[in-house]
Amino acid sequence: MTHTDILAKSGLTAADLTGGSLAVRSPVDGAALATVTEIDAAAMPGVIASAKAAFNEWRKVPGPKRGELVRILGEELRAEKETLGRLVTLECGKIYQEGLGEVQEMIDICDFAVGLSRQLHGLTIASERPDHAMRETWHPAGVVAVISAFNFPVAVWAWNTALALICGDSVIWKPSEKTPLTAIACQKILDRALARFADAPAGLHHTVIGGRAVGEALVDSPDVAIVSATGSTRMGREVAPKVAARFGRSILELGGNNAMIVTPSADLEMAVRAIVFSAVGTCGQRCTSLRRLIVHRSVKDQLLSRLTAAYKSVRIGNPLLDGTLVGPLIDKASFDGFSAAIANAKAEGGTVLTGGERTLTAEFPDAYYVTPAIVDMPAQSAVVKHETFAPILYVLTYDDFDQAVHLQNDVPQGLSSCIFTTDVRESEFFLSAQGSDCGIANVNIGPSGAEIGGAFGGEKETGGGRESGSDAWKGYMRRQTNTVNYGRSLPLAQGIKFDL
């Protein structure tokens, strides 16, 4: 299937693909895909006003009825799974299997949200006063801005939007400028769901294509109740203070510098499989990609021998073709970051065991394919503590388990982590308050590939936000405590006497 075929099958028309100023290129081969029209930042107040008006109506709709819209969206996504998955691959470069997996994640969160729409429950609370009842209720929060990144161009939108819609919020989505076509396709899919639902207010969901000024309009507006932003720590440092200054709320999903501890008792065969997928999947461009391998000295040589052999067998190439396991980096800037990190690692005493080079230049001269790198480091130096969004795996050696846990935690980021061990004491310590300081901690699986049932997010420079499953829905609502006096007197709390 050609690029043109994929675009056409995705429902993208000439009006969607031409006449704008934002050039879109495929990382697969560098081919020009479109010139997309960007919204004028001056139009953003009108968009926000439209979303706010829609919220005022949508919040009146019962939660289970709101869930019906998301159920229909899930049906539309099921019908478009293969098509949208292929478009994800074309525009962001992850292999087709991962593109399909990303769309399945969208479907899964819709299913989760539909059930949740009947479970937006609070608490009943015992009152200290006679003939009084206390309860906690949850109400829609308002307009939710979703600012997403290129590496998961559609799943992160679905995480936020499915929950926001069933919670009674309206949504404005600003996708990455690197992946606007998948966003336009998702808006079309949602439009079909809205047409079938036939009872949603106009302006319930907007997709706005644009750069920094568009994002700033969302971040700065007091009419945007919640800003859910996925991206770099640098971006988060700009977003969070601005939202906080106007007393808005932010859900931040930022950097990850994820580690795996491999202990002497680990199943090395299973560990190798987990390492390879976690470190080279999406060409190392997941926020949950494995970046640090902390391995016990006694098993290091055996593990690295197997691991380097596995790396050399990984098939790099066109991600649209079956059998490819590693596609390209998104663009030249990412390749430059990859190359600089390799050079810095060498300068800091690292030894490149395999990979670290650009490849397939004859076949794809305008794209940026690289060989995933394994770098043995003498210490957790500056380059190791910095998140490079590329397939570089730094290897660190430990002798004492406490040292391994310290290395795992001794980075600015705190997203995902894992340990491979068959020692229950080690695994339970790793999951305890004294163990991993990350928002995600796994035993005998890698750090990437999270299911939607759990809350997703991390600590420290990862931003502290939570999306997707568990009780992450509470981030899209406002909490209210209610007290009802059903008696005929007015006792005060704390036994206070105030007699007139």
pLDDT tens track for 86-96: 999 999 999 99
CATH tag, 3-254+463-481: 3.40.605.10
The bridge status of strand 143-147 relative to strand 392-398 is: unpaired
- Give the residues across from 132 on adjacent strands: 485
The answer to whether residue 341 scores a pLDDT higher than 90 is: yes
The answer to whether residue 499 scores a pLDDT higher than 90 is: no
Q: Which of 98, 253, 387, 467 is catalytic?
A: 253
Domain boundaries, the chain: 3-254+463-481, 258-443
Tokens of residue 174, six digits: 């600003």
pLDDT of 123 reads 97
Q: Percentage of the chain surpassing pLDDT 70?
A: 100
Rounded average pLDDT over 421-446: 98
CATH tag, 258-443: 3.40.309.10
The answer to whether residue 433 scores a pLDDT higher than 90 is: yes
pLDDT of 329 reads 98
Give me the amino acid identity at 112.
F
For the whole prediction, is pTM greater than 0.85?
yes
pLDDT digits (tens, 9 = 90+) for 345-402: 999 999 999 999 999 999 999 999 999 999 999 999 999 999 999 999 999 999 999 9
Report how far residue 110's alpha carbon sits from residue 116's, in angstroms, rounded to the nearest whole number: 10
**In which band, very low, low, confident or very high, does the pLDDT at 321 lie, cut at 50, 70 and 90?**
very high
* DSSP 8-state assignment for residue 492: P
Q: Residue 255 in 3-state DSSP?
A: coil
Give me the amino acid identity at 409.
N
The answer to whether residue 500 scores a pLDDT higher than 90 is: no
Burial of 175 (0-12, 13-18, 19+ CB in 10 A): buried
The answer to whether residue 227 scores a pLDDT higher than 90 is: yes
Tokens of residue 99, six digits: 């593109």
Q: Which helix (H) or strand (E) holds 296?
A: strand 290-296
> Is 467 noted as a catalytic residue in this protein?
no
Range list of H helices, 349-480: 382-385, 401-409, 424-431
Tokens of residue 187, six digits: 């808006």
Q: Kindly give, in sequence order, each residue whose CB lies less than 8 Å from that of residue 140, ignoring residues fewer than 6 positions away.
A: 55, 58, 59, 167, 168, 169, 476, 477, 478
pLDDT digits (tens, 9 = 90+) for 251-273: 999 999 999 999 999 999 999 99
**In which band, very low, low, confident or very high, does the pLDDT at 300 lie, cut at 50, 70 and 90?**
very high
Rounded average pLDDT over 229-256: 97
pLDDT digits (tens, 9 = 90+) for 39-80: 999 999 999 999 999 999 999 999 999 999 999 999 999 999
